[in-house]
Amino acid sequence: MERMVIGTLALLLAATSMAAAQTNTPPIKGMASTVGLYVYPKNHQTATQQLTDESQCYSNAKTQTGYDPNATTTASAAKTQDSKSGDKPVAQGAARGAVISGATGGDPAAGARRGAVLGSIKAKRKEKEETEQADKQAAANKNAQQPLDDFKRSLSSCLDARGYSVK
């Protein structure tokens, strides 16, 4: 009798876990995932239906916003600076100053000092230009984010109206 109860419980447990595995299907990766949205069906839509709805809503969002995330490319070339390169322009200026001063019959040490000062000024100018360029790039990236946000909002509202949870 005890074996029969244990066997029945084991069968019920196995059937329950199989039913749970069949109802918990993994989320589908469709068009919405390309812009970072997660879409889950609320009304038991099939995977095929979800992909169709996502495709239609994606096209609708492109039409409404005039923005296509797949056509947008980010041309951001990140420049990496060597941490030791801060002294490089100063050293180059000093070397140039010493060579020029020595070649013209002057004091190479004084020429090196003048060259180092000029190299330092040149480095500061370059650093300022790079900072201004980085600020402009940050402002451009901020302005470029708005169309994507509008596109996501349009796509989300379309999918929500079709019975999907969008996050």
Q: What is the DSSP string of 2-29?
A: HHHHHHHHHHHHHHHHHHHHHH-PPPP-
Does 64 reside within a domain?
no
pLDDT at 3: 67
Residue 110 lies in a domain: yes
Domain assignment of residue 134, yes or no: yes
107 belongs to a structural domain: yes
Which of the given ranges, 8-22, 83-97, 99-113, has the highest pLDDT on average?
Answer: 99-113
**pTM for the whole thing?**
0.48
* 135: three-class secondary structure by DSSP: helix
In a domain, 6, yes or no: no
**pLDDT tier at 66 (50, 70, 90 boundaries)?**
very high
Question: What is the domain extent for residue 94?
Answer: 85-149
As a whole number of angstroms, the distance between CA 94 and CA 110 comes to: 9
Classify residue 33: in a domain, yes or no.
no
- Would you say residue 16 lies in a domain? no
Count structural domains, the chain.
1
